[in-house]
């Protein structure tokens, strides 16, 4: 399709940044914006004021988004709402003949994952999860190196989402209706695995030659969220409903084995006062890459390669997408540019009839 006509649902903290990126990509037309809260739609609209885009605005009711999906002049529905709404919205949109992209995690249960697969296959509409970390510069570099054999055969990989969100989760002005705190109060395990999983699964060719076989998942106790909830509830009635919740354990570690005998370790911790990390470790028969705390590459047990060799490897293995739009991506921004690279690739695939990543 020469022009991709887009409708956005969910314009809280995340949606407007995607709106900005999409508005700057050639071959797009933003047709509609929807959020439950009228102020969020109005604020988001300002992001594209002065551009050629002139979307219809939908808000004020929990089902307004259906009107956006029912329109005949939209090709792609872009979903950045709370997790429990992703699948109902995506399934409805595909049933209305729209391609969909969904923020991470796309689904919250196995049943929901199958709903997405089955609906996409039946309607023959694309359904892509917006795993932006697959498009970060070091992840793209090391994916290319992995594909060119630099690391030999990959044996073991690691990823994580270690990001201290405790203040934001407990802030009533943060996530709408504190939906993310509710998720942590009512579900267990690794709630947000895809930032770590996405890039290592690409390098391991998961579902493109290998697949996950089984996993073991272990969580610590909760030492932080329950205590914070009780402390806040004593001062503010708003937090009373959280005071006696059985919160998810703070650190979850999941180990996965693939059918080809590779292993993946994924961690999830959104409460500890630790520096941010997605780990991103690729460990193979000939070399290793590790992103955090400092992007590093090694091809022996002597240590990481020095700066000059690192630069030479970057030069040799930087993939074409980064050469083409990397600078523009850094300028537009969004997590340092990876969000723009993802959105650019999404639109490029749709315009050129390619399967989405
Ligand atoms: N990939 C990333 O780096 C990244 C970063 C931040 C957030 N996210 C994801 O983006 C999504 C949104 O997160 P957020 O931080 O923007 O949360 P948020 O609470 O700030 O925004 C969610 C928005 O959805 C709206 N909404 C809720 N119910 C609705 C309905 N029925 N109809 C229309 N709109 C509705 C809310 O009013 C709110 O504006 C989540 O899936 C989150 O995991 C991803």
Question: Has residue 196 been placed in a domain?
Answer: yes
Q: Are residues 68 and 126 in the same domain?
A: yes
Per residue in 60-84, pLDDT (tens digit) is 999 999 999 999 999 999 999 999 9
Q: Are residues 122 and 140 in the same domain?
A: no
Q: Which residues of 181-218 are buried (b: 16+ CB within 10 A; e: fewer)?
A: bbbbbeeeebbbbbbbbbbbbbbbbbeeebebeeeeee
Per residue in 246-273, pLDDT (tens digit) is 999 999 999 999 999 999 999 999 999 9
* Three-class SS state of 270: coil
Question: Has residue 58 been placed in a domain?
Answer: yes
Across the range 140-152, mean pLDDT stands at: 98
Across the range 131-158, mean pLDDT stands at: 98
pLDDT the model gives residue 43: 98
CA atoms within a 13 Å half-sphere pointing along the CA-CB vector of 132: 21
CATH number of the domain bearing residue 224: 3.30.360.10
Question: Has residue 269 been placed in a domain?
Answer: yes
Q: Are residues 92 and 233 in the same domain?
A: no
Q: Are residues 173 and 292 in the same domain?
A: yes
pLDDT the model gives residue 291: 98
pLDDT the model gives residue 169: 98
DSSP E strand boundaries for 80-230: 99-102, 127-129, 154-162, 212-219
CB distance 74 to ligand 1 below 6 Å: no
CA atoms within a 13 Å half-sphere pointing along the CA-CB vector of 187: 14
Which residue's entry shows tokens 């989402």?
161
Residue nearest to atom 32 of ligand 1 (CA): 36
Q: Are residues 68 and 183 in the same domain?
A: no
Question: Has residue 324 been placed in a domain?
Answer: no
Question: Has residue 267 been placed in a domain?
Answer: yes
CB distance 135 to ligand 1 below 6 Å: no
Q: Are residues 93 and 155 in the same domain?
A: no
Beta bridge partners of 161: 268
Per residue in 8-55, pLDDT (tens digit) is 999 999 999 999 999 999 999 999 999 999 999 999 999 999 999 999
Q: How far is CA 323 from CA 27, 32, 43, 329, 340, in A?
A: 20, 32, 34, 11, 14
Classify 49 in phi/psi space as left (phi over 0), alpha (psi -120 to 50) or beta.
beta
125 vs 132: CA distance, rounded Å:
21
Give me ligand 1 centre to Cα 15, in Å. Answer: 7
Under a CB-based contact definition with an 8 Å cutoff, are residues 258 and 264 in contact?
yes
Q: Are residues 94 and 41 in the same domain?
A: yes
Q: Are residues 157 and 265 in the same domain?
A: yes
Q: Are residues 77 and 25 in the same domain?
A: yes
Q: Are residues 8 and 74 in the same domain?
A: yes
Q: How many domains does the chain have?
A: 2
pLDDT the model gives residue 106: 98
Q: Any idea what DSSP says for residue 226? A: H
Q: In percent, how much of the chain has pLDDT > 90?
A: 99
Task: Please state the separation of Cα 36 from the chain's center in Å.
Answer: 22
Question: Has residue 323 been placed in a domain?
Answer: no
Residue-averaged pLDDT of the chain: 98
Containing domain of residue 11, as a range?
Answer: 4-130+330-352
Question: Has residue 325 been placed in a domain?
Answer: no
pLDDT the model gives residue 230: 98
Q: Are residues 68 and 149 in the same domain?
A: no
Give me ligand 1 centre to Cα 252, in Å. Answer: 23
CATH number of the domain bearing residue 98: 3.40.50.720
Per residue in 98-142, pLDDT (tens digit) is 999 999 999 999 999 999 999 999 999 999 999 999 999 999 999
Q: Are residues 219 and 99 in the same domain?
A: no
């Amino acid at each position: 399709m020469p022009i991709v006509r887009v409708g956005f649902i969910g314009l809280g903290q995340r949606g407007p940044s995607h709106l900005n990126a999409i508005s700057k990509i050639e071959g797009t037309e933003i047709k509609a914006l929807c959020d439950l809260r009228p102020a969020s739609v109005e604020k988001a609209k300002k992001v594209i004021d002065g551009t050629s885009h002139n979307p219809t605005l939908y808000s004020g009711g929990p089902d307004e988004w259906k009107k956006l999906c029912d329109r005949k002049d939209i090709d792609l529905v872009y979903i950045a709402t709370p997790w429990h709404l992703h699948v109902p919205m995506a399934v409805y949109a595909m049933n209305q003949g729209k391609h969909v992209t969904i923020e991470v995690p796309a689904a919250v249960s196995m049943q929901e994952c199958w709903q997405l697969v089955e609906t996409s296959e039946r309607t023959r509409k694309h359904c892509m999860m917006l795993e932006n970390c697959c498009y970060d510069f070091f992840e793209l570099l090391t994916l290319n190196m992995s594909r060119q054999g630099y690391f030999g055969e990959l044996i073991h990989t690691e990823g994580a989402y270690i990001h201290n969100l405790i203040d934001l989760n407990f802030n009533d002005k943060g996530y709408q209706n504190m939906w993310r705190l509710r998720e942590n109060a009512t579900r267990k395990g690794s709630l947000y695995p895809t930032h770590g999983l996405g890039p290592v699964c690409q390098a391991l060719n998961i579902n493109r030659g290998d697949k996950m076989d089984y996993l073991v998942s272990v969580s610590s106790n909760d030492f932080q969220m329950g205590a914070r909830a009780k402390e806040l509830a004593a001062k503010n009635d708003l937090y009373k409903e959280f005071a006696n919740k059985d919160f998810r354990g703070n650190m979850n570690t999941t180990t996965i084995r693939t059918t080809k005998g590779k292993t993946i370790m994924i961690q999830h911790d959104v409460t500890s006062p630790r520096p941010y990390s997605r780990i991103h470790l690729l460990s193979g028969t000939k070399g290793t890459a590790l992103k955090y705390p400092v992007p590093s590459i090694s091809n022996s047990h002597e240590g990481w390669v020095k700066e000059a060799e690192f630069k030479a490897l970057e030069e040799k293995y930087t993939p074409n997408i980064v050469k083409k739009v990397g600078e523009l991506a850094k300028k537009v921004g969004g997590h340092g540019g990876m969000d723009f690279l993802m959105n650019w690739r999404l639109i490029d695939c749709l315009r050129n009839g390619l399967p989405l990543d």
